[in-house]
């Protein structure tokens, strides 16, 4: 496992973003783990988060892209901090763009988007926190494709939960790839999280012991990709 992946897992735990216990997800599924990217709230946390996204994008997709697109709302700060990190880490200026939930009909920046305007020929990286069902892409991809003649290079999320999406056979990231034809990736997936934390100390305690590992295994027996 790459060092930045292991560091990112510890960072999620340290930031109280990745939790273990008993959680009911929006889908109604009972899960032994939960991730909430909204818990990144401080300047230092957001700086580090952007750096992890930038490293993962650089390692996965390279640097041949022009725009980071973050779907509203959680994708907005992700696109901003990752654009800053890309400039600092790799000396590459990339633009950020985000959509609005409601179109603004006045002012110099009226329209459906924040940040840079999408232009014909742009190569775009989509950036999200976590994709469980792929629903946000249903709303976002048509907006991006309709704004200009762009190429979507890929999607980067922070955590791949590795559970079946709406189709019931593939994980949500694979469903997005098959549906829209662009690559999908995550900084880490739950198999890597489990590998890094199972019966190992993180911040002074063991987060995934035998009991929790059994609960995670049972969850994937029910909801994991077969």
Residue 58 to residue 16: CA distance in whole angstroms: 26
Quote the pLDDT of residue 118.
94
Is 104 catalytic? The answer is yes
Annotated catalytic residue, options 30, 104, 110, 135: 104
Annotated catalytic residue, options 26, 101, 106, 226: 106
Vertex 86 angle, CA 55 and 125, to 5°: 75
Q: Cis peptide leading into 214, omega within 30 of 0?
A: no
Quote the pLDDT of residue 28.
84
- CA–centroid distance for 55 within its chain: 13
Q: How far apart are the first and last CA of the chain?
A: 23
Q: What is the pTM of this model?
A: 0.91
Burial 8-27 (b: 16+ CB within 10 A, else e): bbebbbebebbebeeeeeee
E-assigned strand segments in the chain: 18-24, 30-35, 67-70, 95-104, 111-115, 123-127, 151-160, 183-189, 201-202, 205-206
Largest CA distance in the chain: 58
Quote the pLDDT of residue 168.
76
Quote the pLDDT of residue 142.
93
Residue 205: helix, strand or coil by DSSP? strand
pLDDT by residue, tens only, the chain of 226 residues: 889 999 999 999 999 999 999 999 877 889 999 998 889 999 999 999 999 999 999 999 999 999 999 998 889 999 999 999 999 999 999 999 998 866 655 444 555 788 899 999 999 999 998 875 567 788 889 999 999 999 999 999 999 998 887 777 888 899 899 999 999 999 999 999 999 999 998 888 899 999 999 999 999 999 888 7
Is 58 catalytic? The answer is no
Quote the pLDDT of residue 101.
65
């Amino acid at each position: 496992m790459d060092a930045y992946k292991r560091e990112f897992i510890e960072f999620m735990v340290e930031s109280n973003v990745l939790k273990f216990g008993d959680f009911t997800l929006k889908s109604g599924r009972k899960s032994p783990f939960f991730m909430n990217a909204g818990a990144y709230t401080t300047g230092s946390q957001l700086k580090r988060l952007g750096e992890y996204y930038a490293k993962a994008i650089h390692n996965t997709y390279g640097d041949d892209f022009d725009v980071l697109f973050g779907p509203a709302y959680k994708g907005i700060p992700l696109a901003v901090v990752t654009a800053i990190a890309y400039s600092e880490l790799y000396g590459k200026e990339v633009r950020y763009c985000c959509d609005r939930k409601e179109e603004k009909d006045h002012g110099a920046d009226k329209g459906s988007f924040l940040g840079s305007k999408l232009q014909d020929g742009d190569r775009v990286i989509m950036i999200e926190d976590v994709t469980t069902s792929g629903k946000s892409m249903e709303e976002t991809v048509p907006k991006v494709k309709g704004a200009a003649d762009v190429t979507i290079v890929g999607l980067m999320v922070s955590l791949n939960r590795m559970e079946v999406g709406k189709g019931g056979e593939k994980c949500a990231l694979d469903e997005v790839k098959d549906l829209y034809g662009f690559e999908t990736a995550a900084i880490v997936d739950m198999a890597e999280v489990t590998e890094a934390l199972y019966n190992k100390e993180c911040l002074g305690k063991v987060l995934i012991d035998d009991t929790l590992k059994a609960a995670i295994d049972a969850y994937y027996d029910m909801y994991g990709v077969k």
